[in-house]
Amino acid sequence: MKTWQSMNPATGMPVAEYPCLSRPELDEALDRSASAAPAWRARSMDDRGAILKRAAELLRKRSERLALLMTSEMGKPVAQSRAEVEKCAWVCEFYAEHGADFAATRPVATDASSSAVRYEPLGCVLAIMPWNFPLWQVFRFAAPVLMLGNVALLKHAPNVPGCALACEAIWRDAGAGDGVFQSLLVPVTEVERMIADSRVHAISVTGSERAGAAVASRAGVNLKPCLLELGGSDPFVVLSDCDIDEALTGAVTSRTLNNGQSCIAAKRFIIEDALYDEFVTALDARMRALVVGDPMDPETDLGPMARRDLVEHLHHQVTASVAAGARLRCGGGAPPGPGFFYLPTVLADVVPGMAAFDEETFGPVASCTRAEDTDHAVELANQTRFGLGASLWSRDPDPELISRLSAGHVAVNGIVKSDPRLPFGGIRNSGFGRELGREGMLAFANTKSVWVR
């Protein structure tokens, strides 16, 4: 029997082992999903909303257990794990409260006696989710999908199997019913087959460019809608008139949150020339001051990366950039001892053509680039194949700059973050479609026009 093994990235030691589903067991799960879909769709919005509220209650009740599980499987500081559980409860409550309004039939005046637009569930939505926010990514998908009346299947990342099963337990214990939400511990080789299966009607992916392209290709062949939330190399644009202390606080938070492993983390720090040297020196000092260590310790600022291969890839990007002319201000390697740690790192004088500028650096590495002026800063910010988020820091931001930044989300004097009240997603190689907000709930709806004489 094949198994999934979770490993503690702080120690490099195994945590637990979980059996994978066999091919017949996977077929049984797909049958349960197909059987559950009609009854779940037939339930009222009030009924589904009540289950979302119970899910929120259970998340809070189990918060400490879930937080420790997340930290043990992927290494984020435990305080951040607790905050993630609370955010999952929030998204459930948000859609329980607003979902009926978002999906309400919309009357439209035409030459008919009556006409309207209805928003109806598609059926079963397959979610392919990453390890970096092992609960939040799942619940921000599941809450709107289930509230609308779809059922859900989760193919989670193989290094967080405990979190995958914990997500399923929340929905089961909240009263969703057999087959409404299932976590499938299956190898990635089964994904293509699931996409092609007639019991699956749509796909949602949060992950890498490579994973998104592969899923979109298979979804296209099978004529099924998909939503892609992929990687990012978000610019953090610092103009010379900004509040430098606030900008530095935002820079360190955004670059090191989740141990630097976030698609919407600030990665390329683009700083106007007049402020460049001061900002880089101060950023260097603040990054050096971070406490790196046991993610279970509440005093720890930065825990380990999730896997050894991620450390090795990040280090290759850093060394390649230094070899190309970037200046290493601090960090630049792993500390001695066990676990998959990488020191907080600042690279100065990074320019296009270097790995730290052109690629997504998925770890605690801040890449600093000098901009001649505001126009040059925007030009550098947009010089990327990605387009997920962008952050702009200025005491007097020009509204035109927001329209000139090519991204799905622009934060002004704040860091980029997902929020249930706002649609979230990117452009270009960062994917397409939107999660969260009203748009996220309707992403997997059949938008049906009705015309009656």
Same domain? For 406 and 448 the reply is: no
Residues 52-86 have pLDDT tens digits of 999 999 999 999 999 999 999 999 999 999 999 99
**Residue % of the chain over a pLDDT of 90:** 99
Same domain? For 264 and 210 the reply is: no
Average pLDDT rounded to a whole number, residues 17-38: 97
The span from the CA of 244 to the CA of 280, in Å, is 11
The span from the CA of 337 to the CA of 317, in Å, is 22
Q: Which strands, in side-by-side order, build the sheet including 226-229?
A: 181-183, 151-155, 124-128, 202-206, 226-229, 431-432
Q: Is residue 309 part of a domain?
A: yes
Q: Which residue has the tokens 């392209």?
A: 213
| Catalytic residue flag (residue 229) | yes
Residue 391: per-residue pLDDT: 98
Residue 352: per-residue pLDDT: 98
Q: Is residue 101 part of a domain?
A: yes
390: exposed, middle or buried (C-beta count within 10 Å: 0-12, 13-18, 19+)? buried
If pLDDT is split at 50, 70 and 90, which confidence band does 122 have? very high
Residue 424: per-residue pLDDT: 97
Q: What is the CATH number of the domain that holds 223?
A: 3.40.605.10
Residues 240-279 have pLDDT tens digits of 999 999 999 999 999 999 999 999 999 999 999 999 999 9
Q: Is residue 407 part of a domain?
A: yes
pTM (whole model) above 0.85 = yes
Same domain? For 320 and 432 the reply is: no
Q: Is residue 36 part of a domain?
A: yes
Q: Bridge partners of 435?
A: 424
Q: What is the CATH number of the domain that holds 240?
A: 3.40.309.10
Q: Is residue 276 part of a domain?
A: yes
449: exposed, middle or buried (C-beta count within 10 Å: 0-12, 13-18, 19+)? exposed
C-alpha separations of 161 from 1, 204, 207, 212, 296 in Å: 16, 19, 16, 21, 19
Same domain? For 279 and 293 the reply is: yes
In the Cβ-directed half-sphere of 71, how many Cα atoms lie within 13 Å? 24
User: Which are the contacts of 50, defined by CB distance < 8 A and separation ≥ 6?
Assistant: 96
| Residue 304 and residue 341 in contact, taking contact as beta carbons nearer than 8 Å | yes
Residue 223: per-residue pLDDT: 98
| Catalytic residue flag (residue 263) | yes
Same domain? For 261 and 402 the reply is: yes
Same domain? For 63 and 190 the reply is: yes
If pLDDT is split at 50, 70 and 90, which confidence band does 1 have? low
Same domain? For 372 and 247 the reply is: yes
Residue 2: per-residue pLDDT: 84
- Three-state DSSP string of the chain: CCEEEEEECCCCEEEEEEECCCHHHHHHHHHHHHHHHHHHHHCCHHHHHHHHHHHHHHHHHCHHHHHHHHHHHHCCCHHHHHHHHHHHHHHHHHHHHHHHHHCCCEECCCCCCEEEEEEEECCEEEEECCCCCCCHHHHHHHHHHHHHCCEEEEECCCCCHHHHHHHHHHHHHCCCCCCCEEECCCCHHHHHHHHHCCCCCEEEEECCHHHHHHHHHHHHHCCCCEEEECCCCEEEEECCCCCHHHHHHHHHHHHHHHHHCCCCCEEEEEEEHHHHHHHHHHHHHHHHCCCECCCCCCCCCECCCCCHHHHHHHHHHHHHHHHCCCEEEECCCCCCCCCCCCCCEEEECCCCCCHHHHCCCCCCEEEEEEECCHHHHHHHHCCCCCCCEEEEECCCCCHHHHHHCCCCEEEECCCCCCCCCCCECCCHHHEECCECHHHHHHHHEEEEEEEEC
Q: Is residue 418 part of a domain?
A: no
Same domain? For 269 and 351 the reply is: yes
In this predicted structure, the answer to whether residue 182 has a pLDDT above a threshold of 80 is yes
User: Which are the contacts of 54, defined by CB distance < 8 A and separation ≥ 6?
Assistant: 174, 175
| Residue 367 and residue 361 in contact, taking contact as beta carbons nearer than 8 Å | yes
Average pLDDT rounded to a whole number, residues 350-358: 98
Residues 147-165 have pLDDT tens digits of 999 999 999 999 999 999 9
| Residue 119 and residue 446 in contact, taking contact as beta carbons nearer than 8 Å | yes
Q: Bridge partners of 365?
A: 345
Residue 348: per-residue pLDDT: 98
If pLDDT is split at 50, 70 and 90, which confidence band does 3 have? confident
Q: What domain range includes position 333?
A: 234-412
| Amino acid (one-letter) located at 38 | P
Average pLDDT rounded to a whole number, residues 311-329: 98
Same domain? For 178 and 297 the reply is: no
Same domain? For 343 and 265 the reply is: yes
| Amino acid (one-letter) located at 291 | V
Q: Is residue 252 part of a domain?
A: yes
Same domain? For 190 and 261 the reply is: no
| Residue 388 and residue 263 in contact, taking contact as beta carbons nearer than 8 Å | yes
Q: Is residue 423 part of a domain?
A: no
Residues 81-92 have pLDDT tens digits of 999 999 999 999
| Residue 252 and residue 266 in contact, taking contact as beta carbons nearer than 8 Å | no
> How many independent structural domains does the chain possess?
2
Catalytic residue among 93, 263, 272, 368: 263
Catalytic residue among 93, 229, 272, 435: 229
Same domain? For 299 and 197 the reply is: no
| Amino acid (one-letter) located at 403 | S
Polymer length of the chain: 453
